C-alpha cells in the first residue's frame, strides 16, 4: 500500500492539470453506478407486475427504464471522453519526461543497455502508469456501489447476505493469489520482451549487413530462440491466469446455483417473500461484477506499481546513471581548449588515452592522425563530454568542462562523424533540428557549401524529401554531406570532423575540403582523417599512437621528424 501511495503521489504531478476533468469523470461514474443499482430493482418490479397482470405498471416501469438507460448512455459517453483526455494528457507528459531522462543518461549506460529496455518503458510502461486514475475511479466506484448492494441484501435477508459474503471472500482470495502469481511471471516476461525488442531493432537497422554477410540463417536462429523463449514465458503467464480463471468461474457458477437453492428454501420456509427473492437474485450478477472489478483493481495496481518502478529506475534510479554538468554558462566560447594529462578507457584497466596533453588555440585547424585504435575519435567524445575522463582535466576557454553547463559545451561544438545518423524526417526538418528558425536562404547556402544542393534539387520533393531511418534511402556520401550541411547550419565555434569525408568520391571530397578551408581562421576546426591528403593543409597535425601524441607539427615537419607518419603517407601514395 505504501508503494502504491508513493507511486500515486509521483504520478499525480503529471495529471494534476486535468483535475477538473478527473472530478467530472468521478461524478459521471458515480451516476452510472447509481443507475446500475436502480435498474435491477425496476426489472424485478416488471416481473412482479407481469405475474400479477398489472400491464399499466409494466409499461410505466419500462418507460422509466428506457429514460434511465438513455441517460446512462449519455453519462457513459461523457465518462469515456473524460477518461480519454485524462489518459492522453498524463501519458504524453510521462512519456516526455522519460524521453528527456533517457537523453540525459551517460553514454556508457546506453552502450551497455539494449534499446529494447527504453522502447518498452517509453511505450508500454508509460501507458500502464498513465491509466491508473481511470482504473482506480472505475473499479473503486463499482466496488463501493456493490458494497451498498450487499448492505441492501443484508437488510432484506441476513442468511442470503452471509452466503454471498462468504462466496465473495473465497473469490477475492483466489483473485489475490492469481494476481501475485501472474505478477511474478509478468516481471520475467517484460525483461525478455525488452531483449526481443532490442534484437528486432538490430534486425531492422542491420538488415543490410546481415544480408551482405550471408548471416540470415544464424541471425534468425538467435532471433527464433529469443522469440520462442519469450512466447514460452508469455504462455506460462497466460496458463496461470487461465487456470485461476477456470477455477473462479466454476466457483461463481456454484455460488449462483447455491443462491437459487437457498432462495427457494427460504421461500418454502416462509422466511423470504418472492418479490424480495427476485430482487436478491437480480443482484446476483452484481456479486460476480464486484469480483471482476476487484480483479481489475488488483491487476491495475500490480501493472501500475511494476511499470512505475521500471520508469523510476530510469528517472530517479542509481542503476541508470545520468550525465552531470556544471552551472557555468558561456553564450559563445572563443574556441580554444586543452587536454591536461588525460587518461581514459571504456573498460577498467584498458586505457585508450594515456596521460594525453595538448592545446588547441581558437580558430586553429588541427588534425589528428594515426592508426585505428589510437584514440582519435575518443578525444572528440571526451571534448563533447560524452564520457567522463578517468584522470586529468579538459578545459574550454581555460574553464574545466566539469564546471560548464550542457549548452555551453554542446551548443558550441558540432561533430560530424564518419557514420552520421540521419533522422526519419524530410531533409528540411533534419536541418531544422539544429536551428528551428532556419531560413530558406541559410538552408540552401549550407547545402551548397556541403555540395548537396544540386542533388537535393534533383529529388521529386526537393528539400521536403523524406529520408529513411538511419539515412537508408541515401548513400553513405549523401548522408555525410547532409550531416556536414547540418553542421554548417549550426555554425558553432568548434567544428569536429571525424572521418567526415571518408565515404566521398575524390571530386566531392575536394569540394568539401575547399568548404572546410573556407571556414579556417574563423572557427576552431579539428579533423580526424584516414586519408592524410585531406589534412596536409592543417595548421598542425598531431600523430597519435597507443593513446599518446608521438609527434606534432605541419605536414612537412612530420615528414622530416616522424618515421611512422612518413610511412603512413607513403603507403597512401602507393595505394592511390
Task: Write the pLDDT tens digit of every residue in 363-387.
Answer: 888 989 888 778 888 898 898 888 8
Domain harbouring 530, CATH code: 3.40.50.300
Domain harbouring 308, CATH code: 1.20.1560.10
DSSP conformational letter for 421: -
Residue 328 domain flag: no
Do residue 133 and residue 224 come from a single domain? yes
Query: For the residues 427-444, what does the mean pLDDT come to?
Result: 88
- CA 124 – CA 163 distance, rounded (Å): 41
Do residue 508 and residue 382 come from a single domain? yes
Q: Measuring CA to CA, how many Å separate 291 from each of 140, 298, 469?
A: 12, 11, 47
Residue 267 domain flag: yes
466 alpha carbon, distance to own chain's centre: 23
Q: What is the pLDDT of residues 298-312, one digit of tens each?
A: 878 888 888 888 888
Q: Say what the pLDDT of residue 341 is.
A: 92
Do residue 49 and residue 92 come from a single domain? yes
**Cα dihedral: 569, 573, 575, 576 (round 10):** 140
Q: What is the pLDDT of residues 23-70, one digit of tens each?
A: 887 788 778 777 776 776 777 777 777 777 777 887 888 888 888 888
Do residue 380 and residue 473 come from a single domain? yes
Residue 326 domain flag: no
- CA 188 – CA 433 distance, rounded (Å): 38
Query: For the residues 341-355, what does the mean pLDDT come to?
Result: 86
Do residue 291 and residue 422 come from a single domain? no
Do residue 470 and residue 534 come from a single domain? yes
Do residue 408 and residue 495 come from a single domain? yes
Is the pLDDT confidence value at 330 over 80?
A: yes
Q: What is the pLDDT of residues 284-297, one digit of tens each?
A: 766 667 777 777 78
Q: Say what the pLDDT of residue 400 is.
A: 92
Q: Ranked by mean pLDDT, which of 85-94, 273-282, 503-512 comes out on top?
A: 85-94
Boundary of a domain, candidates 315, 349, 375: 315
Boundary of a domain, candidates 280, 315, 350: 315
- CA 386 – CA 379 distance, rounded (Å): 10
Residue 73 domain flag: yes
Residue 262 domain flag: yes
Q: Say what the pLDDT of residue 393 is.
A: 93
Q: Say what the pLDDT of residue 394 is.
A: 92
Residue 362 domain flag: yes
- CA 358 – CA 373 distance, rounded (Å): 19
Query: Can you give the three-state secondary structure of 312-373, one letter per residue?
Result: HHHHCCCCCCECCCCCECCCCCCCCEEEEEEEECCECCECCEEEEEEEECCCCEEEEECCCC
| Residue numbers of the domain that contains 177 | 2-315
Q: Say what the pLDDT of residue 471 is.
A: 46
- CA 196 – CA 157 distance, rounded (Å): 56
Find out whether 51 and 119 touch, Cβ atoms under 8 Å. Answer: no
Do residue 345 and residue 269 come from a single domain? no
Boundary of a domain, candidates 248, 283, 315: 315
Residue 561 domain flag: yes
Do residue 243 and residue 376 come from a single domain? no
Do residue 430 and residue 568 come from a single domain? yes
Q: What is the pLDDT of residues 400-418, one digit of tens each?
A: 999 999 888 888 888 887 7
Is the pLDDT confidence value at 507 over 60?
A: yes
Query: Can you give the three-state secondary structure of 39-51, one letter per residue?
Result: HHHHHHHHHHHHH
Do residue 435 and residue 307 come from a single domain? no
Residue 323 domain flag: no
Do residue 302 and residue 380 come from a single domain? no
Q: Which of 228, 206, 255 is nearest to 419 (CA)?
A: 206
- In the chain, how many domains are there? 2
Amino acid at each position: 500500500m505504501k508503494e502504491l501511495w508513493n507511486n500515486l503521489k509521483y504520478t499525480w504531478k503529471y495529471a494534476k492539470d486535468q483535475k477538473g476533468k478527473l472530478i467530472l469523470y468521478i461524478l459521471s461514474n458515480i451516476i452510472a453506478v447509481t443507475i446500475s443499482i436502480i435498474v435491477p430493482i425496476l426489472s424485478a418490479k416488471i416481473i412482479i407486475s407481469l405475474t400479477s397482470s398489472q400491464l399499466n405498471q409494466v409499461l410505466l416501469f419500462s418507460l422509466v427504464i428506457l429514460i434511465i438507460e438513455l441517460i446512462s448512455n449519455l453519462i457513459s459517453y461523457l465518462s469515456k471522453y473524460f477518461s480519454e483526455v485524462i489518459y492522453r494528457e498524463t501519458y504524453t507528459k510521462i512519456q516526455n519526461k522519460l524521453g528527456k531522462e533517457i537523453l540525459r543518461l551517460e553514454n556508457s549506460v546506453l552502450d551497455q543497455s539494449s534499446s529494447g529496455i527504453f522502447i518498452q518503458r517509453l511505450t508500454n510502461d508509460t501507458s500502464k502508469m498513465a491509466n491508473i486514475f481511470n482504473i482506480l475511479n472505475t473499479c473503486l466506484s463499482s466496488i463501493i456501489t456493490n458494497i451498498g448492494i450487499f448492505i441492501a441484501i443484508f437488510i432484506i435477508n441476513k442468511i442470503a447476505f452471509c452466503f454471498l459474503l462468504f462466496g465473495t471472500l473465497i473469490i477475492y482470495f483466489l483473485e489475490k493469489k492469481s494476481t501475485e502469481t501472474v505478477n511474478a511471471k509478468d516481471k520475467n516476461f517484460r525483461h525478455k520482451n525488452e531483449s526481443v525488442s532490442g534484437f528486432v531493432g538490430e534486425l531492422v537497422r542491420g538488415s543490410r549487413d546481415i544480408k551482405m554477410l550471408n548471416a540470415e540463417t544464424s541471425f534468425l536462429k538467435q532471433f527464433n530462440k529469443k522469440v520462442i523463449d519469450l512466447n514460452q514465458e508469455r504462455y506460462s503467464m497466460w496458463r496461470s491466469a487461465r487456470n485461476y480463471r477456470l477455477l473462479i468461474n466454476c466457483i461463481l457458477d456454484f455460488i449462483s446455483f447455491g443462491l437459487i437453492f437457498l432462495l427457494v428454501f427460504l421461500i418454502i420456509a416462509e422466511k423470504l417473500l418472492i418479490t424480495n427473492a427476485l430482487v436478491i437474485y437480480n443482484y446476483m450478477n452484481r456479486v460476480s461484477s464486484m469480483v471482476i472489478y476487484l480483479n481489475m483493481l488488483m491487476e491495475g495496481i500490480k501493472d501500475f506499481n511494476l511499470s512505475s518502478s521500471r520508469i523510476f529506475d530510469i528517472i530517479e534510479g542509481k542503476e541508470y546513471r545520468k550525465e552531470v554538468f556544471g552551472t557555468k554558462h558561456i553564450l559563445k566560447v572563443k574556441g580554444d581548449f586543452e587536454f591536461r594529462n588525460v587518461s581514459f578507457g571504456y573498460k577498467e584497466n584498458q586505457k585508450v588515452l594515456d596521460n594525453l596533453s595538448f592545446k588547441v588555440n581558437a580558430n586553429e585547424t588541427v588534425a589528428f592522425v594515426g592508426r585505428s585504435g589510437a584514440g582519435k575519435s575518443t578525444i572528440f567524445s571526451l571534448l563533447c563530454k560524452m564520457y567522463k575522463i578517468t584522470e586529468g582535466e579538459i578545459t574550454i576557454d581555460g574553464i574545466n568542462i566539469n564546471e560548464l553547463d550542457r549548452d555551453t559545451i554542446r551548443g558550441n561544438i558540432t561533430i560530424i562523424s564518419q557514420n552520421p545518423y540521419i533522422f526519419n524526417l524530410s531533409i528540411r526538418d533534419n536541418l531544422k533540428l539544429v536551428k528551428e528558425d532556419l531560413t530558406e536562404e541559410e538552408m540552401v547556402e549550407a547545402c551548397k557549401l556541403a555540395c548537396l544542393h544540386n542533388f537535393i534539387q534533383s529529388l521529386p520533393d526537393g528539400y521536403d524529401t523524406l529520408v529513411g531511418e538511419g539515412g537508408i534511402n541515401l548513400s553513405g556520401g549523401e548522408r555525410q554531406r547532409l550531416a556536414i550541411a547540418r553542421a554548417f547550419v549550426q555554425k558553432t565555434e568548434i567544428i569536429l570532423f571525424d572521418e567526415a569525408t571518408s565515404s566521398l568520391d575524390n571530386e566531392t571530397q575536394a569540394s568539401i575540403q575547399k568548404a572546410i578551408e573556407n571556414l579556417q581562421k574563423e572557427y576552431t576546426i579539428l579533423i580526424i582523417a584516414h586519408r592524410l591528403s585531406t589534412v596536409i593543409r592543417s595548421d598542425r597535425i598531431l600523430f597519435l599512437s597507443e593513446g599518446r601524441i608521438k609527434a606534432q607539427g605541419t605536414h612537412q615537419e612530420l615528414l622530416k621528424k616522424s618515421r611512422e607518419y612518413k610511412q603512413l603517407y607513403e603507403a597512401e601514395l602507393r595505394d592511390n
